[in-house]
Structure 1
């Protein structure tokens, strides 16, 4: 499967982000490298890492060893809170570890707690983008007010907000607030707060001859929400990537949305 075969969402600057990504939190060392290689072999074309994950070197090596063209793999990394004030140093260190000339997306991992807030950090991310170190910039774990603060201060809206998301956490208003602002919602930990034995998910999965986990991932895609499932088990990695042969009806989407009620 090539990157063109997968659904993507447009970010500012003519950047397209695959809706399905591979999360790498807690996937370090050889196990992390093997997991990313397995993911790329299974068809993933989007890999999510972060400075605080301590695995950028393994992720970068796996991307290079995959044999895929650089432009066919979307790579995200993130700035940790303790690196506020050292943004340029941090992205340059990330690029060295990854062995890449640029990443596709760089995020503020958590809102800074200092008195100055997020705006100075956001300006540094914008400068890194303008200098070609990253193609797009965004945030993670921000509320709507935090997004608006950055936009109002700089005129530049975060391309992405990566937040915890799943059917049980579905919030139609928050989803709409992202759409209205042109911010792509990216969900992490799709299974951590999901009961995969929920009768609604089990019934819908049976109707499509897939697993409840695959239904959860497809639900994200059909909402045009980016999702980054994480696993180090090759069989599960492959199953999580096998979600392009079916889609959910409007009724099924509504039933799953209601799990967040």
Structure 2
């Protein structure tokens, strides 16, 4: 199934801000929108998609099931509510947003309900988010790696997640990188600026091109048209061994998304 390499993230975007960001993104050329139940902006995303008049089949929409809705009794009804808000009969991809805190809901129960949602046509593909290797192995045992479309995790120069990415590659599971610009930290990074100057591009472009070179799906976020345009049109470049070593040296394990209920991360 085709998924645009670069998508528009909507985390922390609310109300009119979310609507305007998605509307601008679609006008500029984005065809991949990422949202989630907990973002509380599915209605705004749906309204922007509807107003765009772009054929539904040309837009790849991802949403995520929140931890409170992971039980067999709640997952499908909650997804149907998401579809109602998004004003669509289906989403292209539905993810388990986080492993169930303290394993309150067995992973098998959630994954089988998610697979049922796919069988019902509510979602075309299914996957997971914020799953370390241990949890991903469990998911593979339950469904098989062929059913897991992607694992969406935080990846940027300061949290390169190489061990997890290598495992996903071995299992033929795509990795989707969220927070690819580390909430603006990338833009001011002297190392990335220096590398960018050699290629005539920005530090942000360096980060996105570096992620793309690893065959990752990338979902940056912005509310400014110029940033949305720049992100969408990032260049594809080849890095020298020295440049890759410089970027590798930035990895200090800095993690932005790390709530109290997060799983045990890979080291």
Mark yes or no: TM-score above 0.5: yes
Equivalent residue for 2:222?
231
Equivalent residue for 2:2?
16
Give the CA deviation at 1:155. 3.0
The counterpart of 2:87, out of the listed 99, 115, 120, is 99
Give the CA deviation at 1:39. 0.9
- Distance in 2, Cα, partners of 1:105 & 1:151: 17
- Distance in 2, Cα, partners of 1:56 & 1:72: 18
Give the CA deviation at 1:227. 1.2
Paired residue secondary structure (1:167)? coil
| 1:64 corresponds to 2:55 | no
- Across the aligned residues of Structure 1 and Structure 2, the Cα RMSD in angstroms comes to 1.7
Give the CA deviation at 1:129. 0.7
- Distance in 2, Cα, partners of 1:171 & 1:160: 15
- Distance in 1, Cα, partners of 2:88 & 2:60: 12
Give the CA deviation at 1:249. 2.6
- Retained in 2: the 8 A contact 1:49–1:56? yes
Give the CA deviation at 1:61. 1.4
- Retained in 1: the 8 A contact 2:5–2:217? yes
Q: How many residues align?
A: 246
Mapping for residues 170-209 of structure 1, pairs under 5 Å: 170-192=160-182, 194-209=185-200
Mapping for residues 143-222 of structure 1, pairs under 5 Å: 143-156=132-145, 157-192=147-182, 194-222=185-213
73-82 or 111-120, which moves further after superposition?
111-120
**TM-score calculated relative to the size of structure 1:** 0.88
Give the CA deviation at 1:47. 0.3
Give the CA deviation at 1:146. 0.7
- Retained in 1: the 8 A contact 2:155–2:161? no
| 1:82 corresponds to 2:72 | no
Q: 1:184 to 1:250 in 2, by over 3 A?
A: farther
- Retained in 1: the 8 A contact 2:83–2:89? yes
- Distance in 1, Cα, partners of 2:104 & 2:87: 34
- Distance in 2, Cα, partners of 1:30 & 1:60: 12
Give the CA deviation at 1:175. 1.4
- Retained in 2: the 8 A contact 1:208–1:246? no
Q: 1:89 to 1:213 in 2, by over 3 A?
A: same
Deviations 1:223-242 (A, max 9, x none): 11111111112221112112
**TM-score calculated relative to the size of structure 2:** 0.86
- Distance in 1, Cα, partners of 2:12 & 2:160: 25
Is there any run of 5+ residues in structure 2 with no aligned partner, and where?
253-267
- Distance in 2, Cα, partners of 1:75 & 1:209: 33
Is there any run of 5+ residues in structure 1 with no aligned partner, and where?
1-14
- Distance in 1, Cα, partners of 2:81 & 2:94: 13
| 1:55 corresponds to 2:30 | no
- Retained in 1: the 8 A contact 2:75–2:110? yes
60-69 or 220-229, which moves further after superposition?
60-69
Give the CA deviation at 1:187. 1.1
